[in-house]
Amino acid sequence: MRTSHNQDVLAEFSRRLAERKLVPPQHIPYYSRWAHQFLAFAQGGREEPRPFNILLDLFLKDITLRGNLQDWQIRQAENAVRLLATHFGKEIGPDARMGEVVPSNWSRESLTGRMRNSIRLRHYALSTEQSYLDWLRRFYDYVQNGKGKNVGQLGLTPEDVRDFLTRLAVVERVSASTQNKAFSALLFLFRDVLGLGLSSMEGTLRAKRGSRLPAVLTVEETAALLGKMSGPSRLYAEILYGTGMRLMELARLRVKDMDFGLKTITVREGKGDKDRTVPLPRRVVEPLRLQLEKARALHEEDLKRGFGEVFLPDALERKFPNAGREWAWQYVFPSERLSVDPRSGKVRRHHISDKTVQDAVVAAARKAAIAKRATVHTLRHSFATHLIMKGVNIREVQELLGHKNVETTMIYTHVLRGLSGAPESPLDSLHLDVQSSE
């Protein structure tokens, strides 16, 4: 691509950003600079064509290694390049190699490595990484063995995705949510790893999930369930019910997120990467203080043994090398044993296992003879419903739960009708003669 053409594209790019108010005006020069750097990188004389998303990943890695950039700068660079590709994909031309896919090196190991790198570049959760890689394995094995197709020679196609999801639904009879999780993983593989699109299939492949009301415990059932628990498990359950937090939000709580003065807990990086605050129930204040004392003693013992470091999100470990050993960053509920971090290979003390809490709640529900399907998430549903029963505004409940849309929170108003204020059945208003059975 000629330099003059590059300059024309960049000038038009800046003008369009300003006219359509796609970014704040003061950020336009920076977006233009990132676009310029990407074009120079994309036209760097590589012999083999590369799909856009792979080229973008390589570019982001390159600028990360070359400069001491902060996370927000990397995100700004990615946003700039994606805007450039969205609005000027055709004008950039074939020399940029942004739309071609070469079906080479399609081994499962190669795809696994590419997908893992793409996931970690976007800071997805470890559970998401494990789930996506598992679906990649199942999809690849189905195409290679189930369909009898040589993936290494012929590559993967959207038709393979359609066949795989059809098999899940028809033969394996998986639920709609499982089918949609598989599609999300494969969409990521094609769009963000291979640079292909599934947009024409997205509307037909996603399974339609019917409307479901969550299981909610009554106030009496909640008290009965908590009464069958003791020790740390009871503290976990009381916090979950008393704050409405999700299970992993509880597990990932750090010492610095507890504010006993303001009686609040700050939930960091919740669903949708959002922070929020929830009230700290008075009933758990003292048990939490005791828990922190135990956690601190465990942390000090780890430091004496040469450990004591915890995982830090994003690039904090690089920016603050010693922060991982500071008390403020430790987990409120640490694991009982040290373990090896699957990503870094470091020996660290992780937080409590989610399965430990799940099993304890299910066992308590069984002991309390609760006939409903009571799980950890049921405590969150019960928290929201009981607040609405007390007259708390639906918007406030939305904020406490961290819901993006109030429509999501409105489902608890439907649940509420089954707990209180339900209309009388017309059968009960009829005056009928009692018939004796013969």
246 flagged as catalytic: yes
What are 405's two structure tokens? 């849309």
Which of the following is catalytic: 97, 299, 348, 403? 403
The answer to whether the beta carbons of residues 267 and 257 sit under 8 Å apart is yes
β-strand partners of 274:
270
Residue 379 buriedness (CB in 10 A; 0-12 / 13-18 / 19+):
buried
Q: Which of 36, 181, 276, 377 is catalytic?
A: 377
Catalytic site includes residue 116: no
* 403 a catalytic residue: yes
Of the listed 97, 246, 299, 381, which one is catalytic? 246
Active-site position among 140, 236, 331, 412:
412
Question: For residues 275 and 321, is the Cβ–Cβ distance under 8 A?
Answer: no
Catalytic residue among 20, 271, 318, 404: 271
* Alpha carbon distances (Å) from 293 to 122, 128, 287, 297, 324: 36, 33, 10, 6, 19
CA-CA-CA-CA torsion sign (390, 395, 400, 406): positive
Catalytic residue among 114, 299, 380, 381: 380
- The set of catalytic residues is 246, 271, 377, 380, 403, 412
